[in-house]
Amino acid sequence: MPQTYTHHFDTPLFKKDVVINTGLFINNEFVDAADPTPIEVVDPTTGKVVTSVQGATKADVDRAVEAAQKAYSTVWGLKTPGTERARLLNKLADLWEAHMDELAAIEALDGGKQFLQAKTFDLTNGLNTLRYYAGFADKVFGKTIETDPTKFVYTLHEPIGVVGAIIPWNFPLMIMAWKLGPALATGNCVVLKPSEVTPLGALKVAELVRLAGFPPGVVSVLPGLGRSAGQALIEHGAVGKVSFTGSVATGRRILAASGAGNLKRVTLELGGKSPNIVFDDADVEQAIKWTAMGIFGHAGQMCSASSRIYVQEGVYDVFMQHMVAFAKSMTAGSGFDQDMTKIDPVASQAQYDRVLGYIQSGQKEGATVLTGGAPLGNTGFFLQPTLFGDVRADMQIVREEIFGPVGVVVKFKDEAEVVKLANSSEYGLVACVYTQDLARTTRLARELEAGSVYVNQMAIPDWRVPFGGYKLSGIGKDLGEYALEGFTNVKAVHVNIGQRL
């Protein structure tokens, strides 16, 4: 039988022993993997191994998909009315809320996230997402379409069947809710693969799925490596859709697998290299605070991070003076500090090395380090908040997503120049604009090539509003009513009521 891991939390913010199953969750049971090769889970604040979980392989994906197919055809899908799906989603939300502190502590343990931040933002967003889609579960309906008097025509919005969901390590439980909510509300079964970096929270939520009363097979959770469990999931012929949040490189592989296989539906929320534009008329004090949070929050490990900072020349000097001072004031956080201004670690040794590589690349290519540029402290995967100046458009640090606490700063003259600079990226996830000019706000909202535009704030997704990008930032939308479209097939029904041959 699969083992469990008990972690003793003894901090001023949370004191409790939390038990986590470390096997695979299939058919509402925690089971052993077919080839139970362990995957080590590391605390990024210390760099030390916490525990290990079993890693799924193709055989386990086959088992989970088979269970999902059975559940879909016998007890879920079109067999279960929307009111019942709503009840179960609301029950899961109630359990999520009741276990909020435990889930936040787990996010701090294997993801390096600050406990208070995880609780007040990540898990609250996830909670609201589940309740939001519970409200939609009995409201998934089509339309009647007038054609001619001899026909009655209508559409049905039906579940796809088995959905493969792959979630990242930066906001694992929040994005888990983003996937489960619309998929389950519309009647699909879900086989979910969490990142091997942060698998513990998803395994804890699997326990809540069972407690909520979802039928066996409706939700499976399979920790595993991308090259084994992930690849098997995206190539499986019985999986009708893959919903993925992560890197562009993996997104390309998913599209290729879909094209080579069963042409499964695909939603991809990928990377970003988001412009953050500060105009002379901005509330500079607020712009500094929002911008700093937008690039240094969770150590910059956000697809929507404000990593390209454009500052108009009239406020550039004062903005940079305070921005650099803010960056220099940040110290390493433990995850359970009550001071939420401390910086998080990056999530893994691999990511730590990757971000340092980008910093070294910027220095070699001639950019100026305005602040930071080095490790922070002697333990864990902490990096100094880093800003580069004197950058060129062809530099790696300007073109590529770094996914760390690293931003580039560019001075600009006027609106036309900055719009051209902002749109020069291959990415198009979000854009942030700081100005008091309402007319300018309206113009830039139309001109900027991004899936979301935030005015006078950093990018903060809302469960009621669609989230997804242009260009390399992805295909389709998470969140809001728009997300439901990605989890249903539309069927047109033509009924002849009068035409005779």
- 378: CATH: 3.40.309.10
Kindly state whether residue 467 falls inside one of the protein's structural domains: no
pLDDT tens across the length of the chain (501 residues): 569 999 999 999 999 999 999 999 999 999 999 997 899 999 999 999 999 999 999 999 999 999 999 999 999 999 999 999 999 999 999 999 999 999 999 999 999 999 999 999 999 999 999 999 999 999 999 999 999 999 999 999 999 999 999 999 999 999 999 999 999 999 999 999 999 999 999 999 999 999 999 999 999 999 999 999 999 999 999 999 999 999 999 999 999 999 999 999 999 999 999 999 999 999 999 999 999 999 999 999 999 999 999 999 999 999 999 999 999 999 998 888 877 678 999 999 999 999 999 999 999 999 999 999 999 988 999 999 999 999 999 999 999 999 999 999 999 999 999 999 999 999 999 999 999 999 999 999 999 999 999 999 999 999 999 999 999 999 999 999 999 999 999 999 999 998 889
Asked if 260 and 401 sit in the same domain, the reply is no
Residues 223/24, Cβ–Cβ less than 8 Å:
yes
Asked if 210 and 335 sit in the same domain, the reply is no
The pLDDT value given to residue 342 = 87
Kindly state whether residue 450 falls inside one of the protein's structural domains: yes
Kindly state whether residue 142 falls inside one of the protein's structural domains: yes
Closest CA to 95 of 214, 196, 12, 10: 214
Residues 86/418, Cβ–Cβ less than 8 Å:
no
Asked if 282 and 266 sit in the same domain, the reply is no
Q: 103: domain CATH number?
A: 3.40.605.10
Kindly state whether residue 500 falls inside one of the protein's structural domains: no
Asked if 42 and 151 sit in the same domain, the reply is yes
Asked if 194 and 324 sit in the same domain, the reply is no
Cα-only R_g, the chain:
23
CA distance readout (Å), 241 to 17, 22, 201, 267, 452: 38, 27, 23, 8, 24
Asked if 387 and 452 sit in the same domain, the reply is yes
The pLDDT value given to residue 340 = 64
The pLDDT value given to residue 37 = 85
Asked if 414 and 314 sit in the same domain, the reply is yes
The pLDDT value given to residue 283 = 97
- The verdict on pTM exceeding 0.85 is yes
Cα–Cα distance measured from residue 262 to residue 235, given in angstroms and rounded to the nearest whole number: 8
Kindly state whether residue 496 falls inside one of the protein's structural domains: no
Asked if 212 and 293 sit in the same domain, the reply is no
Q: Which residue of the set 29, 269, 400, 401 is catalytic?
A: 269
Q: Is 269 a catalytic residue?
A: yes
Asked if 248 and 330 sit in the same domain, the reply is no
Kindly state whether residue 103 falls inside one of the protein's structural domains: yes
Contacts of 94 by beta carbon, 8 Å cutoff, 6+ apart: none
DSSP 374: S
Cα–Cα distance measured from residue 202 to residue 199, given in angstroms and rounded to the nearest whole number: 6
Asked if 250 and 355 sit in the same domain, the reply is no
* Structural domains of the chain, count: 2
Q: Quote the strand ranges of 180-330, DSSP E.
A: 189-193, 219-221, 241-245, 265-269, 275-278, 308-312
Asked if 131 and 247 sit in the same domain, the reply is yes
Measured on CA atoms in the order 263, 265, 271, 272, is the torsion positive or negative? positive
Question: Residue 486: which domain range?
Answer: 4-270+475-490
Asked if 240 and 322 sit in the same domain, the reply is no
Within 99-187, where are the H helices?
100-111, 115-117, 124-136, 172-185
Kindly state whether residue 215 falls inside one of the protein's structural domains: yes
Both tokens of 58, joined, read 């193709």
